[in-house]
Amino acid sequence: MSGQQGGASYPEQIQHQISQLDKELSKYPALNNLEKQTSVPKVYAILGLAAIYLFLIIFNLGSAFLVNVAGFIIPGYYSLEALFTSGKADDTQWLTYWVVYAFLTVFESAISATYWFPFYYTFKFVLVLWMALPQTAGAQVIFRSLIQPVFARFFTGSGSTSSGLRSRADRATAEKPHGQ
């Protein structure tokens, strides 16, 4: 069954993925207008921009800036969106992301990662995407396997790390007299 999965050939699988992406991109009116004005299918424009973006990162042409855009701007948008929703699941997801991203940033600057590791920004870009995407939940994986075991002893008291921090913050806020 070489070259096929589930009866579909690779070109058919690729075409299916492209049509799925086109369907997803159709939700954005700005992309639909761009497609009408330029006569370039929005899916190919987005894939072309993504390819250029990745090319610039791989060949270290403004990669620090481009990786920071992926690491700050996009998660920042979704963090703001989470703050305006009533659910706590997205708050926890993005708070965990920012804690892990902060540890990554401190670690990378402490060891001068860009000096020691070739293609560092390419790996960091993939790591940031993996951490930020809700489908992969990479930040939660890193937090639970690396950060939580080291720092949990400092935040124990009422069960989980998040509830312990929340209860301490609530107590501190309640004890503080109003007007200070």
- β-bridge partners, 160: none
pLDDT in tens, 134-174: 889 999 999 999 999 999 988 876 455 555 566 666 666 66
Q: Which residue has the higher pLDDT, 146 or 113?
A: 146
Residue 1 has pLDDT above 50, yes or no: no
Q: Which residue has the higher pLDDT, 111 or 6?
A: 111
Q: How many CA atoms lie within 13 A of 128 on its CB side?
A: 24
pLDDT in tens, 47-81: 999 999 999 999 999 999 999 999 999 899 999 99
Q: What is the mean pLDDT of the chain?
A: 86
Domain boundaries, the chain: 30-59, 64-151
Q: What is the 3-state secondary structure (H, E, C) of the chain?
A: CCCEECCEEHHHHHHHHHHHHHHHHCCCHHHHHHHHHHCCCHHHHHHHHHHHHHHHHHCCCCHHHHHHHHHHHHHHHHHHHHHCCCCCHHHHHHHHHHHHHHHHHHHHHHCCHHHHCCCHHHHHHHHHHHHHCCCCCHHHHHHHHHHHHHHHHHCCCCCCHHHHHHHHHHHHHHHCCCCC
- DSSP type of residue 156: -
Cα 119-120-126 angle, rounded to 5 deg? 95
Beta strands of 22-111 (E only): which ranges?
none
Q: Band of the pLDDT at 89, cuts 50, 70, 90? A: confident
Q: Which two tokens stand for residue 123?
A: 């790996």
